[in-house]
Structure 1
Amino acid sequence: MSHSESLPTVEQITQLQIDTVALWHQEPIANTQSGFLALVCQQHEHNYRLWHQEDIARSPTADDAVIAKVKRAIDKLNQQRNDMIEKLDDAITDVLSQLQVRASNQAPINTETAGSAIDRLSIMSLRLYHYQEQFEREGIDQEHQDKVAGRIALCQQQHADLSVSLQQLIDDLLAGRKQHRTYRQMKMYNDPSLNPEIYQAQSKAG
């Protein structure tokens, strides 16, 4: 990310997420972005892969070996997804520092970081794509199509609402009206020194 770069608009972020979901269903996954949008794309890729692993995990034909393999893949992808949320927020910290934006200690702090909101928008873009896929599926009856259409409309409203809220947050951060934080996930279950199932097994093996 260049030293002169500011943050992209939420419209740029969400359009990238929407476009890549469609593209990655047709072509191999690739990240051709730069700067902050490259991080957005990388974070989005983990959600994309996670979505499809979750589908496999719920297949009634998946045997125990497949479920175990998928569960480990889901755990790894979920950790990578959360790591990328932190990287997005760290990148915002860098941009604010480069632009010499200093919020007052009395400025409010959002309950959700911009990185977390970008993650939610990523998941919504996946949900919208797959609901549209179901809406266009051959052989479904009108009742099913109406149900899916209702959910698409609700998802679109939620996506629009969150997009507006995130843009307002980014504008406030850039203007110094709100403080920015990176909230560390600190997942205990993936840390061999903190998960008793791991460190106790290692102790017995040693």
Structure 2
Amino acid sequence: MSPTPPLPRAAEVIALHDGLLARADWPREEPPPRDDALWHWMQANHRFNCRLWAEEDLARRTQVADSEIAANKRAIDGFNQARNDATERVDELLLIALGLVDAASARTDAPVSTVPAGARLNSETAGSMIDRLSIMALKVHAMRAQTERQDVDAEHIAASRVKLARLEQQRSDLGSCLDALLVDAAAGHAYFKVYRQFKMYNDPRFNPALVAERSAGR
């Protein structure tokens, strides 16, 4: 079993996200992660968010066949599921490292919390904050590109710079909240749980439309 990794700091997570986005071969090619546990899953989460972002852009096209948009939508469902799965793995590993979940139950549908008395429950998990930092990195990257365009007027550039500054502030604030949560959790003052998303629309056993299709085909 791999040793328990140290808790990540927001600045490290942001550097990971930005560094990967700066690579010309990302997300087509993936560099080796820092470890095969926590950092592997944070990198996987970012990769799926990047691929989801690209498919979302393609799905807005208006001059292609409907079949292409349908393919984009199916890809979006798949990447969104993978992104959520990676977020849950990040939460499991962080909670195990913090001693806030029974390790044997961490990957089940009913993880057992092992929380100090008096600790406050945080409604948002650390994994979901890291997922949001990944999305913020994509927004910052895309808005920065708008400030560097040569085919738009000065007004567009100026407006994009204002938005970029706001996005960078939002990301910094979110990073500070992540650091504070992990510090408080390590000190026994706060905790979070592994929350399962249970994406029913992707599961043919639970999606009523897919159940009906299967029944009709019998």
- TM score, norm. by length of structure 1: 0.93
Matches within 5 A, 1:103-122: 103-122=115-134
In structure 2, what is the equivalent of residue 159 of structure 1? Answer: 171
Partners of 2:200 and 2:117 lie apart in 1 by 31
Residues 144-187 of structure 1: per-residue CA shift (max 9 Å, x gap): 01111111011001000000000000111111111231111011
Pick aligned residue for 2:199 from 183, 187, 202 = 187
1:31 is displaced (CA, Å) by: 3.6
Q: Secondary structure at the match of 2:62?
A: coil
Indicate the residue corresponding to 2:12 in structure 1.
12
Deviation at 1:26, TM superposition (A): 6.3
Q: 1:160 to 1:27 in 2, by over 3 A?
A: closer
Question: How far apart in 1 are the matches of 2:12 and 2:217?
Answer: 51
Partner Cα separation in structure 1 for residue 31 and residue 202 of structure 2: 27
Specify the code of the residue in structure 1 equivalent to 2:150: E
- List runs of 5+ in structure 1 lacking aligned partners: none
Distance 2:213 2:26 in 1: 43
**Which one is further off, 25-34 or 118-127?**
25-34
Does residue 136 (structure 1) correspond to residue 148 (structure 2)? The answer is yes
Post-superposition Cα deviations, 1:97-140, rounded to whole Å, max 9, x if no partner, equal 39x9x642431111110000001100010111111111101121
Q: State the distance in 1 between where 2:154 and 2:25 align.
A: 26
Alignment of structure 1 residues 1-206 onto 2, 5 Å? 2-24=2-24, 28-33=28-33, 34=35, 35-97=37-99, 103-206=115-218
Worse-matched range after superposition: 30-39 or 87-96 = 30-39
Q: Distance in 1 between matches of 2:26 and 2:199?
A: 34
Amino acid at match of 2:212: Q
Identical-pair percentage: 36
Q: What is the Cα-based RMSD across aligned positions, in Å?
A: 2.1
Unaligned runs of 5+ in 2: 103-113
Q: 1:108 to 1:195 in 2, by over 3 A?
A: same
Q: CA deviation at 1:70?
A: 0.4
Residue type at the aligned position of 1:130: A
Q: Post-superposition shift, 1:29?
A: 2.4
The answer (yes or no) to whether the contact 1:105–1:179 under 8 Å persists in 2 is no
Q: Does the 8 Å CA contact 2:27/2:51 hold for their aligned counterparts?
A: no
String of CA shifts for 1:27-62, please: whole Å, max 9, x gaps.
842141113111110100000000111111112223
Structure whose residues are more often helix by fraction? 1
**Runs of 4+ more than 6 Å apart:** none
What SS class does the counterpart of residue 189 from structure 1 fall into? helix
Whether contact under 8 Å (2:10, 2:179) holds in the other structure is: yes
Q: Kindly state the Cα deviation for residue 192 of structure 1 after the two structures are TM-superposed.
A: 1.1
Contact 2:14 2:133 in 1 (8 A): yes
Judged with a 3 Å threshold, the aligned counterparts in structure 2 of structure 1 residues 25 and 62 are, in CA distance, closer, same or farther, namely farther
Partner amino acid, structure 2, of 1:133: A
